[in-house]
Amino acid sequence: MKMTFNRVLLAGVIASALVAPSVLAAETLKIAYIDPLSGAFANVGEAGLKHFEFVAADINKRKLAGDVKFEIVPFDNKVSPQESLNVLKKVEDQGIRYITQGNSSGVAGVLIDAVNKYNERNPGKSILYLNYAAVDPDFTNSKCSFWHFRFDANSDMKMEALTDFIAKDPKIKKVYLINQNYSFGQAVSRAAKEYLKRKRPDIQVVGDDLHPIGQVKDFAPYVAKIKASGADIVITGNWGNDISLLIKAAKDAGLNAPFYTYYGGGIGALSSMGDAADGKVKQITEWHANIRPNKTEKYANAFDAKYGGPPANISFYYLRVNNEMYMLAKAIKEAKSTDPKAVAHKLEGMKYEADTGEVEMRATDHQLIQPLYISTAAKAYHNPKDPKTAKFKGTDPEVKYDQDDSGYGFKTDARIEAYVTVQPTSCHMKRP
């Protein structure tokens, strides 16, 4: 009897081994890219799409996810929360179980809520949301979700680093805040006031404007207020056309105050700003083309060779997209599955050696912890020995590359190590 049972058990084990392969079977994993592909922010959405398509091709070529191939499926949400919900319904109907989005925390908030509700109703068909750029801190605090992972530093983490840098400059006495009037812009305003008061109570906030997102065509009235306030610097989370038009209006009005930005080097920004950016626009990012050492240089040059010329003139910008996709590939290989729940468990707590150093997806709230850089816009270096730099006018060899064929790049002011960016979280995550 015992022998018969053992034979049956052995037969079952062998059968299971044949049915459940030790490596993933070949399949195509579709990832829905939900961002603006029309309207005022279409250039930002199109550039992000190219980043995802380029890194997906690299992952497929190198088989970083085994025999699983990534396919990016673009959806235009027009930066509209309601349109994003309509898109999500299409994603559900097509059986796509991974989504990625980044432009506008207003969109991200409704997607997190909708994905949570869908997954509760459909436990066997869950969707995983990978966020590459929506940085409202609530998403990894009070609104944290098992089904949401953020690969960009949240706005509070960035403001912590920016205000540390600002606090060290004794010449800064007056600060003006101008931001888009939605959750992210409001978070930037709140954090700037709170952190400056804690670190430099002598600094006076002399203005705090919130304006409609993507609707202001002329920032001259806002700039006039900034100029009249006597501000030493301006802090803004504006992105897309809202940062480009703001900086150009500042130049036209003769405003000399530097801008401390989140997205001053964003897609198309420097090419739109032109000379107005020179020495006046600072940014905080996870990477820029002139960091040293630059392990992404070869990859970025390959991207630029494909997209850097007319008509797109797009330079590599989103290192966080690479981190997101490479970590996803690693999680799939480790899970030996493309099931979103299994992959989510592998992403939780994952440490990954990114090009700028080790990054960690904090298990507590699904917030990526990573190094950050503060940098300033400058003319790209003209090297007399290199004819490719003939159009450049800069004299600083540290500014080797320009952004978006603008003739301007960024020079590092400071590197902020990952552990310095860590913020406490109020997340109490409900896990399936």
Render pLDDT for 157-192 as a digit per residue (tens, 0 to 9).
Answer: 999 999 999 999 999 999 999 999 999 999 999 999
278 touches 377 (CB < 8 A): yes
Q: Do 397 and 351 fall into the same domain?
A: no
Q: Do 128 and 221 fall into the same domain?
A: no
Q: What percent of the chain has pLDDT over 70?
A: 94
- Is residue 59 in a domain? yes
Looking only at the bridges linking them, the beta strands covering 357-362 and 367-369 are antiparallel
Q: 33: which strand partners? A: 74, 100
19: confidence class by pLDDT, cuts 50, 70, 90: very low
Q: Do 352 and 398 fall into the same domain?
A: no
* Number of domains the chain contains: 2
- Is residue 18 in a domain? no
The answer, as to whether pTM is greater than 0.85, is yes
Strands (E), 10-127: 27-35, 68-76, 98-101
The values of phi and psi at residue 368, to 5°, are -75, 130
Q: Do 34 and 181 fall into the same domain?
A: no
Between CA 205 and CA 173 the distance in angstroms is 9
- Is residue 141 in a domain? yes
Q: Note the pLDDT of residue 24.
A: 64
What are the Cα distances from residue 4, in Å, to 8, 18, 230? 6, 21, 90
Mean pLDDT of 265-281: 90
Question: Which of 11-25, 245-259, 319-333 is predicted least confidently?
Answer: 11-25
Closest CA to 81 of 224, 199, 182, 204: 182
Asked whether residue 13 carries a pLDDT value surpassing 50, the answer given is no
Q: What is the pLDDT of residues 131-140, one digit of tens each?
A: 999 999 999 9
Mean pLDDT of 302-312: 87
Between CA 296 and CA 55 the distance in angstroms is 12
Between CA 332 and CA 343 the distance in angstroms is 6
Which range of residues forms the domain containing residue 73? Answer: 27-153+318-369
Query: Which has the higher per-residue pLDDT, 3 or 325?
Result: 325
Give the chain's mean pLDDT.
93
Mean pLDDT of 359-382: 97
Q: What is the pLDDT of residues 84-96, one digit of tens each?
A: 999 999 999 999 9
Q: What is the pLDDT of residues 209-224, one digit of tens each?
A: 999 999 999 999 999 9
Asked whether residue 68 carries a pLDDT value surpassing 50, the answer given is yes
Between CA 313 and CA 427 the distance in angstroms is 40
18: confidence class by pLDDT, cuts 50, 70, 90: very low
Mean pLDDT of 400-424: 95
